Amino acid sequence: MAEPAAAAPARAGPRVSPRRRARELALQGLYALQLAQASPATVRQQLAEDPAFDKADGTFFDALWKGVTAEDAALVGGLAPHLDRAAAELSPIERSILVIGAWELEHRPETPYRVVINEAVELAKRYGGIDGHKFVNGVLDRHAASVRAAEVAARSRADPKGKPATRAR
């Protein structure tokens, strides 16, 4: 008699990059700051105790956390012209994701603006409300056009694969 086949191993979920893990932790921390009214240092310590913290890009997380907590009001102010409602009316998750994306757009020019927006959209799909990712995409796309005008213009002149457009002769 044949032996029963072994069950197929369970597939692990998609691997989360250390940078995405850092963004997720920052999102979690910003959400906690809005709801618990704790200090950034206290929330950061709590995040460091999370088992996921060891899998995050610590250097990136520290820069991101310091930036979004120190510059929150300025980042929200920079986003305000691109919002369809007052910042106070945003959900805590959408607000946090927008602040993270705005900080990256303004302070991490080595990360292509489309990557910043895509990462924010993925956070919104995973943690935000229905269609919140569309709102995040639109706001950050408009913000990128204002803070990274040259990069956005260069991208719009390129074909969909990102290759420079050729001129017709």
Residues 78 and 10: their CA atoms lie apart, in Å, by 45
pLDDT (0 to 100) of residue 20: 96
Mean pLDDT of 139-156: 93
Mean pLDDT of 88-115: 97
pLDDT in tens, 6-60: 433 333 456 889 999 999 999 999 999 988 888 999 999 999 999 989 999 999 9
Q: Count CA atoms within 13 Å of residue 50 on its CB side.
A: 18
Residues 96 and 76: their CA atoms lie apart, in Å, by 10
- Between 39-43, 102-106, 165-169, the lowest mean confidence (pLDDT) is in 165-169
Cβ proximity of 68 and 103 under 8 Å: yes
Amino acid (1-letter code) at residue 93 = I
Confidence grade of residue 161 (pLDDT, cut at 50, 70, 90): low
Residues 1 and 55: their CA atoms lie apart, in Å, by 46
18-47+55-157 maps to CATH 1.10.940.10? yes
The domain segmentation of the chain, as residue ranges, is 18-47+55-157
